[in-house]
Amino acid sequence: MDAGSRFMVKAFRRYYRERAPPLPHRFGRREFGFMFFDRSYMQRHTSFSRGEDLHSLLVSQAPAHCYHSTAYYQTPGAATMEEKSWMGADLIFDLDADHLHGAEGMEYGEMLEAVKTEMLRLLDDYLFGDLGFSPEDVSIVFSGGRGYHAHVRTPEVLRLGGPERREIVDYITGTGLLADWVFPHSRTVLSKGRYSREYKARGLPPADAGGWRRRMRTAMLSLFEDMEGEGAKELKSRYPSLQGRTDKAVAKMLEELFSSDGGTSAAENIVSSGMMAALSKKSQEMLVEVLEKDIKPTIAGEVDEPVTTDVKRLIRLPGSLHGKTGLMVVPLDYDGLRGFDPLVDAVPDTHGDDSVKVTMRADAEVELLGQRFVLSGDEEVPASLAVHLIGRRFASLASKG
C-alpha cells in the first residue's frame, strides 16, 4: 500500500470510529459488498445480523467503497445468487453526471448542481407526478460521487422483475413513445367556400390529458411561442430534424401556422379545436417530427437503465464514504435535497483542518467547503481537501524530506 492509500485508510478509519452509518431497511436480509484501498477486487456475499458487526468491519478495515444489495434474500450471505433465495428488491433510480448532455465540459461543482436539478425534475415530474409515489415512499441519497439515487420500497414494487422495471424506465425516458398515439390521425371535414372535403389530420392531445400526452401538448404550445416571428434558417439551426428540409418547406409551415384568417391563426385554431386540419400534411409531419426528435429528448427523464432493471444490484451504503472523493454518501429527504450542497454538506468534519502536504499531478482549481483553491506543484492544504484531491487522483501525498 502506498503512502496515499495509507493516508486515505487513516482518514476513513477515523470517520468510521466516530460515525456508524444508519442501517438500511431490513439490513439483515441484504448482501453487502466492499472495495478496499489495497485490493483490486470486491469482497461481497457478506451479511450481518447485528449493526455492531457491520460497524466493526468498517472501523477495522476502512473500506474505500461500501455497498448493500437492493434485493432482500432469505440467506444473503450465501456464496451464490441461487443459494441466496431472492425475496424482492427496492426500485432504484440512479442519476449520474454521465447521463447529462454537456457534463464533460463542466467543473465538478457545476456538474453536481446540474445533476441535482435533473433529480428534482425526475422526482417532481415522474416519481411524485406520473407514477404517483409520495415523498414518504422515496428515499433520496447523494452517491458521494457524481449523482443521486432514489430508493422506492413500497410493497407494490418489491416483486417487480427486470422486464417490468424496464417498462418503468421506458416510460420515464419516453422510449418507444409513438407519435401516432400522441397525435392520432382522424378524419375531419375541411370546408372552403361552397366546397368541402374529408381530410385526414392529426389531433392534439386534450387539455385534460395526462402523462406523456399532457407533456407533449404543453411542448407543442411552447413550440408555437418559440416559432412565431422566426425565419426558416433560424429554426433549421435550432431544430436538427428540420435540417433535411428545404428553407421553402419550413417557411411554408411557418406561414400556414401564423398567417391569420379572420384574425385567428392556424396555431390558435389547433389549440382551440384540437386538430391540425388547418395545416398541410407535410407541415403537420414536420411539426410532429420536431416535437418527437428535438423536443421530447429535452423533456424526458434521465435514469440509468441497468441500475433500475437489475433486481440483484449493489448500491452505495448511505452514511459510508466514497473512496474516490472522500465525500459522504448522504441520505436526504425531498426538502433537504433542494438546499443540499455536496461540496459543503457532504464533507466529513472528521477529516480535520490540519495541513497536509500534497504534490499535484497537474495544475487544478478545486472548490470545497465554500472555498476555491488554485493548486500547482507542492501545496500545503487542509486535510479534508487532501483526502478529496488524493481520492480524485489530482494529487499524491508529498514525500517527506
Q: What per-residue confidence (pLDDT) applies to 98? A: 79
The alpha-carbon radius of gyration of the chain (Å, integer) is 27
Q: What per-residue confidence (pLDDT) applies to 102? A: 79
- Tell me which DSSP letter residue 145 carries: S
Q: Rounded to an integer, what distance in angstroms lies between the CA atom of residue 94 and that of residue 213? A: 25
Q: Is residue 373 part of a domain?
A: yes
Q: Rounded to an integer, what distance in angstroms lies between the CA atom of residue 50 and that of residue 45? A: 16
Per the listing, cell 422526482 goes with: 123
CATH number of domain containing 91: 3.90.920.10
Q: Is residue 346 part of a domain?
A: no
Q: Is residue 17 part of a domain?
A: yes
Identity of residue 140: I
Please report, for residues 88, 94, 280, 359, the alpha-carbon distance to residue 30 in angstroms, rounded to integers and kept in the order given.
11, 19, 59, 41
Q: What per-residue confidence (pLDDT) applies to 197? A: 61
Q: What per-residue confidence (pLDDT) applies to 192? A: 55
What nine digits make up the cell of 150? Answer: 432514489
What nine digits make up the cell of 160? Answer: 417487480
Q: Is residue 345 part of a domain?
A: no
Identity of residue 166: R
Within this chain, do residues 25 and 145 fall inside the same structural domain, yes or no? yes
Within this chain, do residues 129 and 84 fall inside the same structural domain, yes or no? yes
In DSSP terms, 68 is beta-bridged to 32, 315
Q: What per-residue confidence (pLDDT) applies to 295? A: 96
Task: For residue 311, count CB atoms less than 10 angstroms from its CB and return exposed for 0-12, middle for 13-18, buried for 19 or more.
Answer: buried
Residue 125 CA from chain centroid, whole number: 13
Residues 6+ apart with CB under 8 A from 141: 148, 149, 150, 151, 316, 318, 329, 330, 331, 332
Per the listing, cell 500534497 goes with: 358
Q: Is residue 209 part of a domain?
A: yes
Q: Is residue 92 part of a domain?
A: yes
Per-position pLDDT tens, the chain of length 401: 789 999 999 999 999 999 999 999 999 999 999 999 988 889 999 999 999 999 999 999 999 999 999 999 999 999 999 999 999 999 999 999 877 877 888 899 999 999 999 999 999 999 999 999 999 999 999 999 999 999 999 999 999 999 999 999 999 999 999 999 999 998 765 555 555 666 688 999 999 999 999 999 999 999 999 999 999 999 999 999 999 999 999 999 999 999 876 678 999 989 998 999 889 999 999 999 999 999 999 999 999 999 999 999 999 999 999 999 999 999 999 999 999 999 999 999 998 878 999 999 999 999 999 999 999 999 999 999 999 999 999 999 988 75
Q: Is residue 247 part of a domain?
A: yes
Within this chain, do residues 34 and 104 fall inside the same structural domain, yes or no? yes
Q: Taking CA 301 as the corner, what is the angle to CA 295 and CA 307, rounded to the nearest 5 degrees?
A: 140
By residue range, what is the domain housing residue 357? Answer: 352-401
Would you state the torsion angle of the CA atoms of residues 280, 283, 289, 294, taken in this order, to the nearest 10 degrees? -150
22 within 8 A of 318, measured Cβ to Cβ = yes
CATH number of domain containing 372: 3.40.5
Q: Which of 327, 324, 326, 353 is nearest to 341 (CA)?
A: 327
Q: Is residue 152 part of a domain?
A: yes
Within this chain, do residues 92 and 185 fall inside the same structural domain, yes or no? no
Q: Which of 52, 311, 274 is nearest to 164 (CA)?
A: 311
Within this chain, do residues 235 and 293 fall inside the same structural domain, yes or no? yes
DSSP assignment of 324-358: TT--B-EEE-HHHHHT--HHHHTS-GGG-S-EEEE
Within this chain, do residues 49 and 137 fall inside the same structural domain, yes or no? yes
Catalytic residue positions, numbered: 94, 96, 304
Within this chain, do residues 45 and 161 fall inside the same structural domain, yes or no? yes
Tally of domains within the chain: 3
Q: What per-residue confidence (pLDDT) applies to 349? A: 93
Within this chain, do residues 387 and 250 fall inside the same structural domain, yes or no? no
Within this chain, do residues 367 and 252 fall inside the same structural domain, yes or no? no
Neighbours of 379 (CB within 10 A): 20
Would you state the torsion angle of the CA atoms of residues 129, 133, 138, 140, taken in this order, to the nearest 10 degrees? -10
**Of all helices (H) and strands (E), which one includes residue 51?**
helix 51-61
Within this chain, do residues 310 and 227 fall inside the same structural domain, yes or no? no
What nine digits make up the cell of 166? Answer: 424496464
169 within 8 A of 303, measured Cβ to Cβ = yes
Within this chain, do residues 327 and 401 fall inside the same structural domain, yes or no? no
What nine digits make up the cell of 323? Answer: 473512496
Within this chain, do residues 80 and 229 fall inside the same structural domain, yes or no? no
Beta strand ranges found along 354-400 (DSSP E):
355-360, 364-368, 371-375, 378-382, 395-397
47 within 8 A of 23, measured Cβ to Cβ = no
Q: Where are the alpha helices (DSSP H) in 228-314?
A: 232-238, 247-258, 266-273, 281-289, 296-299, 305-309
Q: What per-residue confidence (pLDDT) applies to 195? A: 57
- What pLDDT digit, counting tens, does each position of 82-109 carry? 999 999 999 999 999 877 877 888 899 9
- What pLDDT digit, counting tens, does each position of 166-224 carry? 999 999 999 999 999 999 998 765 555 555 666 688 999 999 999 999 999 999 999 99
Q: What per-residue confidence (pLDDT) applies to 189? A: 58
